[in-house]
Structure 1
Amino acid sequence: MKEKKIKPGLVIVFIIVLLAGCAGSDAGRPSPAETDSSEPVTEKTTLTFWRNSGNNAENSAYDQLVARFMEENPGITIKMSPIPYADYDTKLRTSIASGQPPDIMSIDAPNMASYAEAGALLPLTDYFNSDGNIEDIPPSTLSAYTYKDEIYMAPLTESSIALFYNKKMFEAKGIPLPSRNPEQPITWDQVLDAARKLTEPDKGIYGIDPAQGFQNAGATAYFKYPIIWQFGGEVMSPDGTTSQGYLDSAETKKAIRFYSDLYNAHKVSALEYPPDPFPSGKLAMTIDGSWSLSHFAANFPDFKLGEDYDVAPLPKEAEQAVANGSWALAISSRSGNAEAAWEFVNFVTGYEGQKMYVSMTKDIPVRYSVAKEIGELNEYPMNIFVVQNQRFGRSRPITPIFPQMSEAVNKVFEEVTIGKRSVDESVAEAIKKIDAAYSLLEAQK
């Protein structure tokens, strides 16, 4: 019989509601006594660890971390299961809903609150305060893993974005080059002024791609929310329950209009670009990630950093801001070996484990101590990404309805920019959807 296919998004939404229902009724949620009765670490302790499968460097780094931990802790066996990214979240939520989660799991920061709200995660606050060297992690980074005053995940690495600009194009037009100082960004008005001078539509050259175009909701949250914050706006309330009074604020609407105007009024941005428009000379400025440095070096060797292009901190308007939060490690509230699980999590995300991991993956560590010891992270251009995260990082809204909220906000940017819909109308509709999603969650309790 031919199987009926169900859209993955619907499966995930269903399980979110199911988990929320469990949270409200306490079904499947361990009692304090169950949580506190973790077995002491013995020679027979075995922990299951699920993580999203990454690239070769990430997979190799985890293999070595697990081997190193078991060598140093012969009484603990780690059974690690790398799972493809496309399947990971659905499988993890299904395992939790069925009452058979792994002891340790990796979770992307924006999804943390839905798991925590469902009672699926063990609070780690006491562990961090006891021996997690919490002062070595920027408070803004920890905020991305904190829900209702409890830390639920241990961070390992960060990624970050910045302004990439074509140095030769700037010089040819006599435009002052942006500062390399991470704390001295140019303003969005200055970006617009430069973009107008750099745009040559007859040659297919545009001034600025402000947020990697129009991608999925997750990319919108990572690339577009900083623009809202930079204009002094917000997306949701601090407690993650509503967007009323935040998404419809004057500052947020100003940011959305500014973004839309880059495409429609000023015509310095395009809805479509050829492949790799920045290194191929079709885009004068772009907001991109630290990961693109290696991409350009490997695939465009004649497009050289410092000669053809440079990197500057993200533009600001009212303030500086960049999104933080990445994949991190959590412990299941159902684990019968929480102490042993913390030993592993603390090893991987602590000083030694983090240093070992980033030396192989070239990612940005979250710990001050590790970043300080890696020379290239303290020099241009990597220092821009590091300093931004440490000093101006902000967590995307911490809310158990993050997927629904993010999808609604993503649609606002698309409707206003591509569909040329009124900002007021689009935002009002988004708020209704977000509030309805939260109301549905509350109704399940």
Structure 2
Amino acid sequence: MKGKHIVQILMSLVLVIMLASCSNEASTDGKTADGKFKGELTVWIHPYVGNELKSKQNEVFENMAAEFKKEYPDLKIKFEEIPWANREQKILTALAANQGPDVFYLIPDMMGQFADRGVLTPITDLLSGNFDRSDFPESSLEAVTYKDELYGLPILHEVVANVYNTKVLEDIGASKEDVPETWEEFNALAEKAVAKGYYARGFEGGNTLNGTLYPILWQAGGDVIDENGKVVINNKKGIKAFQTVNDWYKKGWIPKDSISTIDHFSLFAEGKMLAANATGITISTLKERGMTDYVLGPPLKGEKQVTFGTTGMFVVPTSSKNKEAAAKLIEVMTSSENTRAFNEVTKYIPPRKSASDMYNNDPDMKQMTEWLPLTKPGVIHPVARDVMPKVQAELQMMLEGSKSPKQAADAAAEVIQAEIDKQ
């Protein structure tokens, strides 16, 4: 028995020595003893473009990795594409199991939720001394800042404006010069279009509220949660937004499948609809299809002129073992040159001032860029993403006729408050 104990003690000593040796070889931050980064960084990206441009998107990311490896040759960079659908749950599940990436893509209304759950690393103190804050408009940095900490660096901006079918405009006695700027002007055209058998606009009720209810709510002067954290979606202005959508549905301004569909662009492209939401990708798609019978229109003005426009950023999770290296990689990925290359392929708007001239020869995209100051990046609150499907359900019940606009708005306020109370 005594000999057995001696063997166990010797084995334990060997294990301690082995662990000590490993810890001298590399730190938990992915560095060797001489301070060089080593190992592998995994980056989760999404299909920012369609299949026809996938090779160009991949080339952009490969060039980012190649540039990074010039300075950090001992680090391997691996890009993995995950679908947009259910990405939030996939990312959170992976991070909880310590199996997630070292860098991933995020938008502002998800940032607060992820930061409050403790799965994001503030990168304010991880950036190199060469990082130039002045090349970003303050609004861009605000969109990636939460509780005074920088959690990511932006690579894209998006503006949701409007696009109008010029053939439909002509058929109702208008022209591309009559593109509306206010709700009153739009409603006048919409009535004429519906009278001629067209739909007035799309309303893709199965998509995120950022592209459906929220812009209408903001334009009515309302909001979901005010700056003091109070739920205000069911105040007078909020109820007006619900009422507006309900009126469109009852009058046939939007299609009957507006309750749950995710695609009304096809109806617009087929010439059956006056107007649709428009982003840079919309314009690119129209051009690819050879469609020239369209004209862009600004975000509409009610009490306010405002629309949704996200800021896409790359962030570092707390589970990454190479946080410092990951932050350096984000700097390279969002450099002026790489930002320009990424947005040339994806048709988003670059957040860097030094890349702002890239659309000078593209009138449509230049116009979209000029509308950037009219955007909001969504609801910036830890419960922003959690409440979306619940508010969406209330909106759908209203359209189905089981709730009035006020009842739907009040119920939406209740579910939002309930989520806040859980914190």
Q: Which TM-score applies when normalising by structure 2?
A: 0.81
Is 1:292 matched up with 2:287? no
Is 1:256 matched up with 2:242? yes
Is 1:363 matched up with 2:331? no
Whether the aligned pair in 2 keeps the contact of 1:242 and 1:438 (CA below 8 Å) is: no
- The more displaced of 86-95 and 147-156 is 86-95
Shift of 1:232: 0.8
Partner of residue 21, structure 1: none
Whether the aligned pair in 1 keeps the contact of 2:30 and 2:37 (CA below 8 Å) is: no
Shift of 1:165: 1.0
Partner of residue 309, structure 2: 324
Shift of 1:397: 1.0
**Aligned-CA RMSD value:** 2.9
Shift of 1:86: 3.9
Change (3 A) 1:130 1:262: farther
Partner of residue 270, structure 2: 280
3-state secondary structure, aligned to 1:174: coil
Q: Distance in 2 between matches of 1:424 and 1:85?
A: 33
Change (3 A) 1:165 1:53: closer
Partner of residue 228, structure 1: 217
Q: Which TM-score applies when normalising by structure 1?
A: 0.77
Query: Which one-letter code corresponds to 2:242 in the other structure?
Result: I
Note the 1:12-411 alignment, pairs <5 A: 39=31, 42-54=35-47, 55=49, 56=54, 57-86=56-85, 88-126=87-125, 131-175=130-174, 177=176, 186-200=181-195, 204-209=197-202, 212-216=203-207, 218=208, 220-238=209-227, 241-243=229-231, 246-264=232-250, 266-272=251-257, 276-299=266-289, 301=290, 303-304=291-292, 308-376=293-361, 379-389=362-372, 391-411=373-393
Query: Which one-letter code corresponds to 1:290 in the other structure?
Result: G
Q: Distance in 2 between matches of 1:262 and 1:340?
A: 51
Q: Distance in 2 between matches of 1:353 and 1:42?
A: 27
| CA deviation string 1:316-373 (max 9, x = no partner) | 1112212222442111234443332221101111212212222333332122221224
| CA deviation string 1:386-427 (max 9, x = no partner) | 1222x1121211122223211232223323333262222112
Q: Distance in 2 between matches of 1:275 and 1:141?
A: 29
Whether the aligned pair in 2 keeps the contact of 1:179 and 1:312 (CA below 8 Å) is: no
Structure 1, unmatched stretches of 5+, are 1-34
Q: Distance in 2 between matches of 1:130 and 1:254?
A: 49
Whether the aligned pair in 1 keeps the contact of 2:37 and 2:325 (CA below 8 Å) is: no
Aligned length: 385
Partner of residue 7, structure 1: none
Structure 2, unmatched stretches of 5+, are 1-26, 259-263
3-state secondary structure, aligned to 1:278: helix
Q: Distance in 1 between matches of 2:343 and 2:201?
A: 31
Query: Which one-letter code corresponds to 1:321 in the other structure?
Result: V
Shift of 1:38: 8.1
Query: Which one-letter code corresponds to 1:215 in the other structure?
Result: G
Is 1:424 matched up with 2:406? yes
- The more displaced of 76-85 and 402-411 is 76-85
Change (3 A) 1:315 1:82: same
| CA deviation string 1:10-68 (max 9, x = no partner) | xxxxxxxxxxxxxxxxxxxxxxxxx9988588445234223134141333321221123
Change (3 A) 1:85 1:275: closer
Is 1:412 matched up with 2:394? yes
Query: Which one-letter code corresponds to 1:415 in the other structure?
Result: M
Q: Distance in 2 between matches of 1:226 and 1:124?
A: 31
3-state secondary structure, aligned to 1:199: helix
